[in-house]
Amino acid sequence: MSETGTSTRLPVGGSLGSLGVRLWPLLAPAGLTILISLLALMGSEVLERKATFMLINMVFVLGLYTFVGNSGVLSFGHATFMALGAYTFAFMTANVRVKNTTLPDAPGFLRDADIATWQAVALAAIVPAVFALIVALPLMRLNGLAAGIATLAMLFAVGVIVSQWQSLTGGNTAFAAIRRETDLYYALVIVVVLMPLVYLYQQSRFGLRLRGTREDLLASRSLGINTVRERTIAWVISAAIVGIAGAMYAGFNGTIDPSQFFLGARSAGGVTFLTIAMLVVGGISSLAGAVVGTIFLSGIAEALREVEKATDQRHITEVVLALILLLTLILRPRGITGGREIYWPFRREQTMRRPAAAPSAAGTSE
């Protein structure tokens, strides 16, 4: 309710200053992200890599938020899109000679592909988006638990195909020699481009309609909102964004394999857990929540990775992150931000937000 309150707010005026105030829910998280990235630039190379990794996760979480946050439908399946994006990017940019040796049975156009990085990133958005559009037909009709299980089934089904289709993907062996161009600047540019798009979608009439279905499915249906269509729009956009995260990750790591994306005996929660934790801990239903959650958990995770290195004890990070997620769910289920955006703290027109409804609704919707 509090989010819908924002979007119904009247424009305050035409000046640049008031535009800034109006865009504060976007500017604040974006500014915070840029600030942290710049601070990391001044630090060591290790710090820079950690910040880059944070930004990759942020792109994933922004994508996840676009669907889950606006629709209120949980997805365990978004790592599928990341994998599709990563493999697309890998095919398009990995060293041609290496590809021809390791994947002799893959189609020629994939083995010999060698396109510009930005084109590969674009393709890494398009492929998952098209896939998302196809699976949306059945999936977007489902609500609640059924949706959660179906997205999980999608993750596993694609995971089986990617890891078993030896001749195409190399199966469980690592896909190597991917063009490594993801650095902090590159990641920051992508975040700075995508975050306003996510905010724009959320404030658009599409986003507003989808949020309506989140608050009250029946009521919005009676207003003529086509839930399946609105969800599909968000789902496809979100798949494209997460696909880009996949491309960034592939270009960051240089090698990829299925266990990095899919749930399996070895992954122990993996990226699916990490990103859901970030979104839930930050606050599932606001852009601010997605960004704050990513920054917060990335900070903790990267600090713990150092502890792991020092003690030679792996997986402490996952234990602590799972504990943080559990405590959040029990003590503060709406996340750090409470699912609200960050507003300009000094403005007078606070009263323009819907007064009584916002605080009391916070505890119950969803």
Partner 1 sequence: MDPSEVAQNAIDAAARGSFLALVALGVALLFGIMNLVNFAYGEVILAGGYAMLIFTTWFLDASVWPLLIIWTVVVAIVFALAQERLAFRPVRHADPTTMLVTSFAVSVLLVNIAIVVWSGLARPVEIGGVTLEQFTAGEIRIRKLDVITLGAAAFLLLSLTAFLKRTSLGIQMRAASEDFRMSQLLGVPANRVIATAFFIAGILAGSVALITVGNQGSSSPGMGLFPLIFGLVAVVLGGMTSLIGAVVGGFVLGGLIVGLEQGLATYGMERFRDAFVFLAVIVMLVFRPQGLVVGRAIRERV
Partner 2 sequence: MLAIENLVVRYGSILALRGISLEVNEGEVVGVIGPNGAGKSTMLMASAAAIPVAEGDIRFEGETVLKERPEKVVERGISLVPEGRHIFHRLTVGENLELGATTRTDAAAVEEDRARVFELFPILKEYLGTPAGKLSGGEQQMLAIGRALLARPRLLMLDEPSLGLAPVVIDRVFETLEQLRKTGMTILLVEQHAERTLDLADRVYVLRTGSIELAGTPEDLAGNPQFEKAFLGFV
Enumerate binding residues for partner 1 (CB under 8 A).
Answer: 72, 74, 76, 138-139, 141-146, 148-150, 152-154, 156-158, 160-161, 164-165, 263-266, 268-269, 273, 276-277, 280, 313-316, 318-319, 321-323, 325-326, 329-330, 333, 366
Q: Which one, 43 or 359, has the nearer CB to partner 2? A: 359
Site residues (CB under 8 A) for partner 2, limited to 304-363:
356-357, 360-361, 363
Q: Which one, 1 or 300, has the nearer CB to partner 2? A: 1
Residue 339's SS3 state is coil
List, in sequence order, the alpha helices (H) in 312-356.
316-331
Name which of partner 1, partner 2, none residue 145 binds, using a CB cut-off of 5 to 8 Å depending on partner kind.
partner 1
Q: Which one, 19 or 324, has the nearer CB to partner 1? A: 324
What's the angle, vertex CA 248, arms to CA 311 and CA 115, rounded to 5? Answer: 140
**What is the distance between the alpha carbons of residues 15 and 19, in angstroms, rounded to a whole number?**
6
**CB 38 → partner 1: shortest distance, Å?**
33
Name which of partner 2, partner 1, none residue 15 binds, using a CB cut-off of 5 to 8 Å depending on partner kind.
none
- Asked if 41 interacts with partner 2 (CB under 8 A), we say no
- Asked if 145 interacts with partner 2 (CB under 8 A), we say no
Q: Which one, 144 or 355, has the nearer CB to partner 2? A: 355
Take residue 131 and report the two structure tokens written for it. Answer: 């896939």
Q: Which one, 34 or 361, has the nearer CB to partner 2? A: 361
Name which of partner 1, partner 2, none residue 180 binds, using a CB cut-off of 5 to 8 Å depending on partner kind.
none
Q: Which one, 141 or 354, has the nearer CB to partner 2? A: 354
**What is the distance between the alpha carbons of residues 150 and 235, in angstroms, rounded to a whole number?**
14
Take residue 355 and report the two structure tokens written for it. Answer: 């007064």
Of the candidates 288, 84, 76, 300, the one whose C-alpha atom is nearest the C-alpha of residue 198 is: 288
**What is the distance between the alpha carbons of residues 191 and 305, in angstroms, rounded to a whole number?**
24
Sort 49 into a burial class: Cβ within 10 Å, 0-12 / 13-18 / 19+. Answer: middle
Name which of partner 1, partner 2, none residue 310 binds, using a CB cut-off of 5 to 8 Å depending on partner kind.
none
Residue 238's SS3 state is helix
**What is the distance between the alpha carbons of residues 57 and 61, in angstroms, rounded to a whole number?**
6
List, in sequence order, the alpha helices (H) in 140-226.
144-164, 166-169, 184-203, 205-215, 217-222
First to last CA, the chain: 10
**What is the distance between the alpha carbons of residues 184 and 270, in angstroms, rounded to a whole number?**
23
- Asked if 1 interacts with partner 2 (CB under 8 A), we say yes
**CB 5 → partner 2: shortest distance, Å?**
11
**CB 315 → partner 1: shortest distance, Å?**
4
Binding site for partner 2 (CB under 8 A): 1, 356-357, 360-361, 363-365
